[in-house]
Amino acid sequence: MLQVTKKLCKLNKMKQTKHDIKRLFLFAGYDKDGIIDDSLVYYVKHLSLFGDVVLFTDCDCSAQELDKVKSYCMYASAARHGEYDFGSYKRAYLWATENLNLQDYDFVYLVNDSVYGPFFDLGKYFQEMESWNSDAFGMVDKIGGHGPHIQSWFIGMRPSVFLSAWFDEFIKSVKHEQKKSDVAVIYETGFSRKLNAHKIPYKCIYSVRGRGVYNKVRALYNKKMPFMKKVAFIRHDGGLAGQIKYVLNHLSPELREIILKSAYRVYGTDVVGGVLTRGRFANAIRKIKYALKKVIKGQI
């Protein structure tokens, strides 16, 4: 705990020396149980060291739950709307336009809680992204699928984007979609298509193909990716056990405990416990079974 406290103090000093950079984080959250767990608090706390946070969660949280993050947020609210992350981004954006002057900000970020972390000091990532000659940028550029795009769990924008009429129209157009896959096509890849249509180049720190951000947990950690997708715990029927354990073993005891507590609650004791206790041989068998299942379904 002392080590983490010292780290937070160091980050706070970093923020205090950068008053000339104003960031706004529009944060989208979701929890099936309507809980603000420690992993979300940890993430929001670290973001708050670098800018202002406006949080909306797509679930019904009690006031007591929201109180866990209110000291780190300009505003925090919760309501089940069924529009997924972009619905929360929309609500955070609308609150910001009504209560803040967006022209005061140098950067606006769209971030969500589909990941665990951060594992490393975020300051260097902001410094890198904001040094680029790009009006839009992000953590991960996904190659393949419905087309190259910035993955929507971490997107950054300069005023030329977040103050534009087309972005205002785009974010306000978000509505409930029948299929989650439609959300990805219309809004996630749709945002990058809008950038392309307006001849706005974008850049990301990491570039992955297909579902690499979900499946290459260890490789991305070794490349200093500061986050891990939460669903890694249930990917490939638990076949990512070795990679997940590798990452967890490299984290501070505090952060490891926070992640495991969250994962046990969200995915269940049997699932997470199986991932953590499975040996190399058992994990190899699990991977083979998963691959065979994909072959039978014609997906390989």
Tell me the pLDDT band of 16, cut-offs 50, 70 and 90: very low
185 or 40: which leads in pLDDT? 40
**Pairing between strand 202-209 and 136-143?**
parallel
Long-range contacts of 37-43 (CB under 8 A, 24+ apart): 37/261, 37/262, 37/265, 38/258, 38/261, 38/262, 39/113, 39/116, 39/258, 39/259, 39/261, 39/262, 40/69, 40/113, 41/68, 41/69, 41/72, 42/255, 42/258, 43/113, 43/115, 43/117, 43/118
Token couple for 10: 């160091």
Token couple for 215: 């499946």
Tell me the pLDDT band of 282, cut-offs 50, 70 and 90: low
Residue 290 scores a pLDDT above 50: no
Residue 172 scores a pLDDT above 70: yes
pLDDT at 156: 98
CA distance 214 to 227: 11
Report whether 171 contacts 152 (CB < 8 A). no
Task: Give the largest Cα separation in the chain, rounded.
Answer: 57
Residue 197 scores a pLDDT above 80: yes
pLDDT tens digits, one per residue of 218-275: 999 999 999 999 999 999 888 899 999 999 999 999 999 999 999 999 999 988 988 8
Shortest CA distance to 76 belongs to which of 123, 115, 113? 113
Total residues belonging to the chain: 300
Average predicted confidence (pLDDT) for the chain: 88
Task: Tell me the percentage of the chain whose pLDDT exceeds 90.
Answer: 76
pLDDT at 77: 97
Tell me the pLDDT band of 5, cut-offs 50, 70 and 90: very low
pLDDT at 283: 52
- Work out the number of other CB atoms within 10 angstroms of the CB of residue 2: 6
pLDDT at 12: 47
Tell me the pLDDT band of 279, cut-offs 50, 70 and 90: low
pLDDT at 278: 62
User: pTM value?
Assistant: 0.87
Shortest CA distance to 108 belongs to which of 39, 168, 172? 168
Name all domains of the chain by residue range, CATH numbers in brackets.
Answer: 2-210 (3.90.550), 211-300 (no CATH)
CA distance 14 to 12: 5
**Pairing between strand 107-112 and 52-57?**
unpaired
Residue 121 scores a pLDDT above 90: yes
CA distance 239 to 275: 8
Amino acid at 53: V
pLDDT at 144: 76
pLDDT at 147: 75
